[in-house]
Amino acid sequence: MLDWVPVADRIDLLAAPVAQAAPHAGVELRVAEIDPELSDTAAFCERYGVALEDSANCVVVAGKRGGEVRYAAVMILATDRADVNGVVRKHLDVRKVSFAAQAEAVALTGMEYGGITPIGLPADWPVLVDENVTRRDFVVIGSGVRRSKLALSGKALVEATGAEVLSLAL
């Protein structure tokens, strides 16, 4: 069973950039400690009884245009796949987009791979949230580390990150 508490009560469960951004998110954020070995979505949902449709993954993508690399965070429900090569590529106005390399994503975000979240990302990165995520009253996302998860509503996620809502699911 997950013990969801206000992030202010357990700021120690967040990656440094997330801990810095959380107090300024302007929404109710809750955090729960988990077994870091069960951080991956399927294992987490099975062990902690969270429905896959109540879990959203954050994917860091990188695209190039004229020698410039453009990064973005894409939020998609665990039950869906994001249209990275269509909608995301066009939205970022790049010729090609791909998932950022693990080492690159970790270095640029200051977060652990498998725990990356849109809260606390570099300010110049767009956050693209699939419209299906915004329909969830309760959604579990990463906390920047593998040993905890954050929970909020899909609408609060958009508010907290200044995200753009798109139809991203394939």
Number of domains in the chain: 1
C-alpha dist (Å) from residue 153 to 27, 34, 82, 109, 124 = 9, 20, 20, 23, 23
pTM: 0.94
Identify the domain containing residue 128 by its residue range.
Answer: 5-161
136 within domain boundaries:
yes
pLDDT digits (tens, 9 = 90+) for 110-137: 999 999 999 999 999 999 999 999 999 9
Confidence at residue 67, expressed as pLDDT on a 0 to 100 scale: 87
Query: What is the CATH number for 34?
Result: 3.90.960.10
167 within domain boundaries:
no
Confidence of residue 1 (pLDDT cuts 50, 70, 90): confident
| H or E element that contains 48 | helix 41-48
168 within domain boundaries:
no
Q: How far apart are CA 98 and CA 75, in angstroms?
A: 15
pLDDT digits (tens, 9 = 90+) for 57-97: 999 999 998 888 999 999 999 999 999 999 999 999 999 99
